[in-house]
Amino acid sequence: MRESWRWFGPNDPVTIDEIRQTGATDIVSALHHVPAGEVWTKEEIQSYKKVIEACEPGMAPLRWTVVESIPVHEDIKLARPGHEKYVENWITSMENLAACGVKTICYNFMPVIDWTRTDLQYRLPNGAYALRFDQPKFAAFDLFILQRENAECEYSEDEIAQAKSVFENMDEAQREQLTNNIIAGLPGRMTDSYGIADFRAMLANYKDVSAQTLRSNLFSFLAKVLPRAEALGVKLAIHPDDPPRDMLGLPRIVCTAADLKILFETLPSPSNGMTLCVGTYSSRPDNDLPAMAAQFGPQIHFSHLRGVSRDPEEQRSFYEASHLDSDVDMVSVIDALLAEERRRQDEPDSEEIFIRPDHGHQMMDDIGKTVNPGYSGIGRLKGLAEIRGVIRALSKRL
């Protein structure tokens, strides 16, 4: 396993020198300043890499090995006329990254919104803060703030009544905060953030786009990208839709084992791979994570290790739990990833799996500091330390 750590660039409050102290060896990052659809030039990549890899003599070096993510322009997802130039640009960025030695690329195909949460500071019983997705709050946003056309058809009468009472109990500031959290609040998102009017317009673009159409747009994109990726030895790692289900009337097509199966069966290629985001997939109860880790082992190039705790009464609501104390059996997931690495040992060019502690609680000195939601220093360090312990213990047993 290669321990990696996500870094958002020179403005990230967790610095490269601090990351060095965690013991991680690899950096996961992106040229966040380049607008979606534009080419990442070799010069830009090299100078970013230099910042990451600069190291005083005698200090432990860090390497930029994983990209998360090259954004996929909305026009590609919609297969709009003229989208081909964005596909070309995406391929050129990938070629430039490969030329600079960065060969594992995470990406996603989520329309309009990237990952989303309703609460960025959910207080845990121990006093730390976690991210949370609350389904009734989300419905309150959809029905009464966004007032999406025909949204009420997607909710039961009880759900509408519950959402109404949630909405009525929020003051203006809380409504604004909720809106901001959902459409503009999270770091690392690969879609633009919008005001509410633009957001409505963006959603309207997908009015007639079914899951089947979106899937075929993903497949046509990959049909163009994969041959080049293969030639360069690049590993693509699709990230699931988070939360993994349709929302706001948008189709979401990377949510389950069945979605992955069709992706890999349709386009078999050593470069067509996935990010096993344990937290995302496990936020729906019908995904069995240790089984998925075993089933898709050869395609897993990257893994985000974290878990959620779902509400017993409303399984679509969850908060992000401690890395080893969520609804998912993290030890068994790691065991399956280690088994996959052992299987790879006999292959030529066998590669280790990049893992990173995904999202951490805001705790101790993180509290009161400006942090990127989910990307606190101490919270993630705790996650990494726990995961590292499991990896060490399991590896020794073998």
Smallest separation (angstroms) from ligand DNO to the CB of 106? 5
Using the minimum distance from each CB to ligand DNO, give the nearer residue, 106 or 146.
Answer: 106
Residue 348: is the preceding peptide bond cis (ω within 30°)? no
Q: Is 106 a catalytic residue?
A: no
Phi first, then psi, for residue 67 (nearest 5°) are: -100, 130
List 122, 277, 335, 366, catalytic entry:
277
Q: Please say if 358 is a catalytic residue.
A: yes
Q: Which is nearer to ligand DNO, 13 or 344 (CB)?
A: 13
Q: Where do the H-state alpha helices sit in the chain? A: 16-22, 42-53, 74-77, 84-99, 135-140, 157-168, 172-184, 196-204, 211-232, 257-266, 278-281, 289-295, 330-344, 377-397
Name the residue nearer to ligand DNO (CB basis): 241 or 340. Answer: 241
Taking the C-alpha atoms of residue 277 and residue 357, their distance in angstroms, rounded to an integer, is 10
Q: Is 90 in the site for ligand DNO (CB under 6 A)?
A: no
Restricting to residues 104-143, which ones interact with ligand DNO according to CB under 6 A?
106-108, 114-115
Beta carbon nearer to ligand DNO, 69 or 317: 69
Structural contact between residues 374 and 315, judged by C-beta atoms closer than 8 angstroms: no
What are 377's two structure tokens?
A: 């220093």
Tell me, yes or no, if 375 is annotated catalytic. Answer: yes
Exactly one of 12, 68, 320, 340 binds ligand DNO (CB under 6 A); that residue is 68
304 is catalytic: yes
Distance CA 86, CA 75 (A): 8
The correct pick among 374, 377, 379, 383 for binding ligand DNO (CB under 6 A) is 374
CB atoms within 10 A of CB 147: 12
- Looking up tokens 């090259």 gives 70
* Residue 239 lies near ligand DNO (rule: CB under 6 A): yes
CB of 189 to ligand DNO, least distance (A): 6
The footprint of ligand DNO (CB under 6 A) covers: 68-69, 106-108, 114-115, 188-190, 239, 277, 304, 359, 374
Q: Mind telling me the catalytic residues?
A: 239, 277, 304, 358-359, 375
